[in-house]
Amino acid sequence: MSAAHVVHASPTLQVARVESMPFAEHTYVVGRPGRPDCLVVDPGFEPKAVVAWIEKARLEPRGILLTHGHADHIAGNAPLVARWPRLPILIGAGDAAKLSDATANLSAPFGIPLTSPPADRLLDDGERLSLADVEFVVRKISGHSAGHVVFVLDGEAPPVVFGGDVLFRDGIGRTDFPDGDFEALAEGIRRHLYVLPSETIVFPGHGPPTTVGHERLHNPFVRDDSPR
């Protein structure tokens, strides 16, 4: 079982990460230092490690935030809800149907069919929410998945993005799935991410963290075409 470890610690925000196999997907546990609650972003195939981290820290999760509905990002939903039955699941409106459809969430095609409990709240672009004293803006960025969203903590210094499978270090999410669209993904990255401060940290669904500034300059798939 993978163990959680802290990947970001500031006076106001702590982020722990669990890497879940077999897809090396990243689940994040997010909270304010000194508070008794937290959020879970994209629980994958190793929920026991997530539960162990939360219990060891004596935290209470207040929400599951899903960037999208692919299997490697939702596999831990049912075990977490079994452990904390009142834990709500939040997902972009356009991907909610994937939770209950093993074909649409790509688990059946990979030979590991699974489903999730239904969403408790559907998210739209531009919504601003506060859970566990963490404030964030929801931004819809289609292309990897039709209803993919990212969570932007723009009140942090530096700002933080939980980006799912949109923007990776020197890469982007796949667009060859049934509802993939490269042009939509590139347009969403430029519109919603490349406008953020250069020091903005992006915690992706796979691979190492990156920054908006690095990707503007070096991402080989999506160039920053805006005048600066």
State the average pLDDT over residues 111-128.
97
pLDDT for residue 223: 87
Tell me if 44 sits within 8 A of 70, measured CB to CB. no
Tell me the pLDDT band of 190, cut-offs 50, 70 and 90.
very high
State the average pLDDT over residues 26-41.
97
| Residues composing the chain | 228
Whether 223 maps to a domain, the answer reads no
Q: What's the CATH code of the domain at 208?
A: 3.60.15.10
Whether 148 maps to a domain, the answer reads yes
Q: Indicate the number of domains in the chain.
A: 1
What kind and span of H or E run contains 161? Answer: strand 160-164
Whether 131 maps to a domain, the answer reads yes
Mean pLDDT over the full length of the chain? 96
pLDDT for residue 18: 97
User: Which domain range does residue 90 map to?
Assistant: 5-218
Whether 228 maps to a domain, the answer reads no
> 176: which residues sit within 8 A by CB, 6+ positions away?
none
Region for 159 from its dihedrals, namely left if φ exceeds 0, alpha if ψ lies in -120 to 50, beta otherwise: beta
State the average pLDDT over residues 66-77.
98
The percentage of the chain sitting over the pLDDT mark of 70, rounded to a whole number, equals 98
Q: Which of 6-10, 113-117, 136-140, 167-171 has the lowest mean pLDDT?
A: 6-10
Whether 203 maps to a domain, the answer reads yes
Start-to-end CA span in the chain (Å): 46
Q: 6-23, pLDDT tens digit by residue?
A: 999 999 999 999 999 999
Whether 224 maps to a domain, the answer reads no
Q: Which residue in 139, 135, 102, 110 sits closest to 124, CA to CA?
A: 139
State the average pLDDT over residues 22-44.
97
pLDDT higher than 70, residue 74 = yes
pLDDT for residue 4: 86
- Tell me, what DSSP letter sits at residue 45? S
Whether 226 maps to a domain, the answer reads no
CA atoms within a 13 Å half-sphere pointing along the CA-CB vector of 176: 1
Tell me the pLDDT band of 3, cut-offs 50, 70 and 90.
confident
Give the DSSP per-residue string, 162-221.
EEETSEETTEE----STT--HHHHHHHIIIIITTS-TT-EEEESSS--EEHHHHHHH-SS
Six token digits for residue 107: 């688990």
pLDDT for residue 2: 78
Q: 191-202, pLDDT tens digit by residue?
A: 999 999 999 999
Whether 208 maps to a domain, the answer reads yes
Tell me the pLDDT band of 189, cut-offs 50, 70 and 90.
very high
pLDDT for residue 1: 64
- Label residue 226 exposed, middle or buried (CB < 10 Å: 0-12, 13-18, 19+): exposed
Give the DSSP per-residue string, 6-42.
EEEE-SS-EEEEEEETTTTEEEEEEE-TT-SEEEEES
pTM score, whole prediction: 0.96
pLDDT for residue 105: 97
pLDDT higher than 90, residue 224 = no
